[in-house]
Amino acid sequence: MALPSERPAPVYTIRPFRPADRAEREELFRFIAARWGAASWHADRTRWEWQFLRVPPNGGPEPPLWVLTRGDEILGEVGAIPVRLSMAGREQAAAWAADLMIDPEYWNRGGFPLLMREFSRAYPLGLVLGMNAKAYGLFKRSRGWTDLGVIPRLERYCSWRALASPRTLLALARQAGTAVRALRPRRPARDLVVRPVARFDERATALWDRIVGGRIGVRRAAPWLNWKYEAQPLLVHERLQVERGEAVVGCAVLRVEEHGGERRGYLIECFAEPAALVDVAAAAVARLRAQRVDRITCDVLDSDTEAALGALGFVRRRSGMKFMLYAADKTLAPLVTDRPRWYITRGDADQDRPR
C-alpha cells in the first residue's frame, strides 16, 4: 500500500456554488455537517443564508462561494464576505474569506491553494481573520499572503468568579496600574444621552465617515451594521447610539452569553468622535455591568480604542485571532500592509459567533 505522501495527486475541479441547484445545496450541507458537525454554527442554514446570500455588498444573485470536488465528491469549500473598506479617503472593494474547510485527508494535497486562488482572483484585496493552526500554516506557506499579527484582546473583570484563573491574576498583576481603574467606574458625561436603538440610521454612517480619517477598516455604514447586528439570526445584540443634542457622537454593539460557567459580556463595536470615545466605551461597560456579567471582552485592533479601554480598567490578554491579507492589486500593498492603520473588531469576518 502506498504511503499518503506517495499517492498520486488527485484530480480536482473548482466550481462556483450554485444555490438554485437543490441537489448541489443538499450535497454541500451534507459535507458541512460531516466536517463541522450537524449542530455547529457552520451547519445552521439560516446562518449560512444570512452570511452568504444577504450580505449588503454582494451585488449579485449568486453567493461568492467555491467548491472543491473530485468527480462528484465534495472535498472542500471556501466562501467570501464582500465588504467595502474605508481607505485613505475612498472606498475599496475587498472580501473576508469564510467557512474554509477541506477534507482532512486533502489538506496537504493541493486543494487549499486551488480554493484560495479562486478567492484571490475574485477581489483586489483578500482578507482572512481567526484561522486555526492548520489553516494558518497553509496561509503562511502560500505566496502573496502577508501576516499582520493578532488582533489585541482586552478584558475587564467584573466579579470574583472571573478572577479564578492564575493566568488572569498574573495578567492583572503585570498591568496593575491599568487594572485598578476598573475599581472606579466612570459615568458618561451628563450632556450625553445613551439610547438603545432597533436599527442604526444614516447618522451612524455619517459618524463613521467623519471619524475614520486615515484608518483602514470595513465601512461602518448603517446597512452593513444592521445586517451584522440586527438581522443576524443566531445572536442577540444590543445596539447603542450615544447622542449629544441631535448629533450621534458614538455607537456601540454589545452581547451577552453564558460560557464555561461565566456570564460573559462582549463589546463588539465601539467607535466615536475622539473627545467622546472614553465616554461611549464607559456607557457600554455600564450597560453590560447592569446585566451582571462576570467579565467584558473586546477584541479590537485600533490604538485609540485600546487607550480608551485602558482608561476604564481593561487589561491585555493573549489573543489567537490572527489577521492576514492578500493584495491581488499590488498597488494596494504598501498601504494595506501598514498594520497600525487598520481598524478591526470581533464583528469583522465571521468571528462574532457563539463560543
Asked if residue 312 and residue 173 are part of one domain, the reply reads: yes
User: How much is the pLDDT for 339?
Assistant: 98
Query: Residue 78 maps to which CATH number?
Result: 3.40.630.30
Number of domains the chain is built from: 2
What's the rounded mean pLDDT across residues 266-273? 98
Alpha-carbon gap, residue 350 to 64, rounded angstroms? 15
- Whether 324 shows a pLDDT value over 70: the answer reads yes
**Averaged pLDDT of the chain:** 90
User: How much is the pLDDT for 312?
Assistant: 93
> CA dihedral in degrees (316, 189, 287, 178; nearest 10)?
20
- Whether 228 shows a pLDDT value over 50: the answer reads yes
The model's confidence at residue 61, banded by pLDDT at 50, 70 and 90, is low
Asked if residue 305 and residue 163 are part of one domain, the reply reads: yes
pTM listed for this prediction: 0.91
Least confident of 58-67, 201-210, 229-238: 58-67
> Using an 8 Å Cβ cutoff, are 154 and 308 in contact?
no
Alpha-carbon gap, residue 217 to 333, rounded angstroms? 15
User: How much is the pLDDT for 36?
Assistant: 92
User: How much is the pLDDT for 185?
Assistant: 72
Asked if residue 119 and residue 48 are part of one domain, the reply reads: yes
The model's confidence at residue 2, banded by pLDDT at 50, 70 and 90, is very low
User: How much is the pLDDT for 4?
Assistant: 45
- Of 101, 133, 150, the one marking the end of a domain is 150
Q: Where are the alpha helices (DSSP H) in the chain?
A: 22-36, 45-53, 111-122, 133-141, 166-174, 176-179, 202-211, 222-229, 277-290, 303-310, 333-336
- Whether 1 shows a pLDDT value over 50: the answer reads no
The grid coordinates listed for 130 are 481567526
> Using an 8 Å Cβ cutoff, are 269 and 250 in contact?
no
The model's confidence at residue 260, banded by pLDDT at 50, 70 and 90, is confident
Asked if residue 311 and residue 163 are part of one domain, the reply reads: yes
Range of the domain at 127: 4-150
Asked if residue 293 and residue 215 are part of one domain, the reply reads: yes
Asked if residue 190 and residue 175 are part of one domain, the reply reads: yes
- Of 120, 150, 180, the one marking the end of a domain is 150
